[in-house]
């Protein structure tokens, strides 16, 4: 059996189990391109190592590729496509743990100001569209892929509820939004989409040529916008702020807000998990970066519990 045949069979198998399997499929197909297609029994450890190491320093992506290949070769060995896995037995040291960037209110003001200062014909996206995308991500915690796949028909103006269709693991969910974001989106739709360009399947967010926004376009626009706004980590940092960090920011801000309102955060956490489209609270915990602000609120909450006789401001 050729390597590509085995990998395609593996992808079909995983998706038959209800898994979306997009990222793993991309990595495995890249593996075929790297080592070459042919009899999979002839894949050599040196070729595998070249694919894993790439050309740059070791990052978490090395381990993502390694885990994808490990699962694939476990499948292949079990079906007797190969006798042994050609993956290396030794692995490099894990890189420093990634920390998401949590956007502050000041960061958001700088990003919005930078978007509004752009000439509408400089980019594929108008300042209005960029501003709306940022506020949508900040106000809902949607994945960037979910936001860009939204159609006008997915937004119920009467109730202010989004229908997020078949996202990760083919799950759908309802996402209610607040009145301010609801009014902003209604006004954006009326400005962006003249009646002649508007239908239920029309993208919620569109380019200047009335087309759906590609993810790479959104990422590139945001990179330029972030640089203009002067929002960055230290020069030594490997990762700079990303669009996906708005999802982390939403989760942290929601917890801080609940703490300040004196809510029972433990009881409300499952609601946040459902809102974000996660199946387990552990998945949501990945987004809860311990910021100074969150730590202070959590500490104050514990102090109120431990010392109820002491008045707290």
Q: Where are the alpha helices (DSSP H) in the chain?
A: 3-16, 22-35, 45-53, 60-78, 105-116, 127-140, 144-149, 179-192, 215-229, 245-260, 265-276, 281-285, 292-306
What's the CA gap between 235 and 241, in Å, rounded?
12
For residue 155, give the DSSP letter.
E
Helix (H, G, I), strand (E, B) or coil at 131: helix
pLDDT of residue 125 exceeding 60: yes
pLDDT value for 140: 96
Q: In what order do the strands lie in the sheet with 155-156?
A: 155-156, 161-164, 173-176
Q: Residue 2 forms beta bridges with which residues?
A: 39
User: 283: phi > 0 → left, psi -120 to 50 → alpha, else beta; which?
Assistant: alpha
Q: In the Cβ-directed half-sphere of 226, how many Cα atoms lie within 13 Å?
A: 18
pLDDT of residue 259 exceeding 70: yes
Exposure of 309 by Cβ count < 10 A (0-12 exposed, 13-18 middle, 19+ buried)?
Answer: exposed
Q: Which of 144, 167, 174, 170 is nearest to 274 (CA)?
A: 174
Q: Which of 14, 59, 71 is nearest to 237 (CA)?
A: 59
Exposure of 63 by Cβ count < 10 A (0-12 exposed, 13-18 middle, 19+ buried)?
Answer: middle
Helix (H, G, I), strand (E, B) or coil at 210: coil
- 269 vs 31, residue with greater confidence: 31
What's the CA gap between 309 and 302, in Å, rounded?
13
What's the CA gap between 223 and 251, in Å, rounded?
22
What's the CA gap between 38 and 47, in Å, rounded?
13
Report the catalytic residues.
Answer: 143, 168
Q: What is the pLDDT of residues 210-238, one digit of tens each?
A: 999 999 999 999 999 999 999 998 766 66
Helix (H, G, I), strand (E, B) or coil at 262: coil
What mean pLDDT is predicted for residues 18-45? 94
Check if the beta carbon of residue 241 is closer than 8 Å to that of residue 233.
yes
Q: What is the pLDDT of residues 38-81, one digit of tens each?
A: 999 999 999 999 999 998 888 888 999 999 999 999 999 999 99
Check if the beta carbon of residue 127 is closer than 8 Å to that of residue 118.
yes
Mean pLDDT lowest among 77-86, 117-126, 192-201: 117-126
Residues 6+ apart with CB under 8 A from 67: none
What mean pLDDT is predicted for residues 88-102? 82
Helix (H, G, I), strand (E, B) or coil at 156: strand
Q: What is the pLDDT of residues 132-176, one digit of tens each?
A: 999 999 999 999 999 999 999 999 999 999 999 877 656 789 999
- Distances in Å between the Cα of 152 and the Cα atoms of 50, 59, 128, 199, 302 are 45, 39, 16, 7, 44
């Amino acid at each position: 059996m050729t390597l590509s045949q085995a990998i395609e069979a593996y992808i079909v198998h995983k998706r038959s189990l209800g898994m979306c399997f997009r990222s793993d499929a991309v990595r495995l197909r890249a593996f075929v391109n790297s080592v070459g297609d042919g009899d999979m029994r002839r894949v050599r450890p040196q070729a595998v190592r070249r694919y894993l190491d790439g050309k740059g320093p070791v990052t978490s992506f090395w381990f993502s590729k390694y885990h994808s290949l490990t699962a694939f070769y476990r499948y292949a060995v079990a079906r007797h496509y190969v006798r042994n896995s050609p993956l290396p037995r030794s692995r490099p040291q894990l890189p420093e743990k990634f920390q998401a960037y949590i956007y502050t209110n000041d960061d958001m003001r700088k990003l919005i100001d930078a978007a509004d200062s752009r000439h509408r014909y400089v980019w594929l996206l108008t300042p209005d569209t960029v501003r709306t995308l940022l506020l949508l991500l900040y106000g809902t915690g949607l994945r960037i892929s979910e936001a860009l796949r939204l159609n006008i028909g997915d937004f119920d103006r009467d109730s202010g509820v989004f229908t997020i269709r078949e996202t990760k693991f083919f799950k759908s969910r309802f996402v209610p939004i607040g009145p301010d974001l609801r009014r902003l989106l209604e006004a954006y739709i009326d400005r962006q989409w003249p009646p002649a360009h508007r239908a239920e399947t029309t993208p919620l967010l569109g380019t200047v040529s009335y087309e759906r926004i590609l993810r790479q376009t959104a990422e590139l626009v945001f990179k330029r916008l972030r640089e203009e706004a002067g929002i960055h980590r230290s020069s030594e940092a490997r990762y700079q702020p990303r669009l996906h960090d708005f999802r982390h920011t939403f989760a942290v801000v929601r917890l801080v807000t609940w703490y300040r309102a004196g809510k029972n955060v433990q009881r409300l956490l499952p609601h946040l998990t459902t809102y974000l489209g996660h199946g387990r609270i552990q998945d949501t915990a990945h987004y809860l970066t311990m910021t100074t602000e969150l730590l202070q609120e959590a500490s104050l909450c514990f102090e109120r519990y431990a010392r109820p006789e002491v008045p707290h401001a």
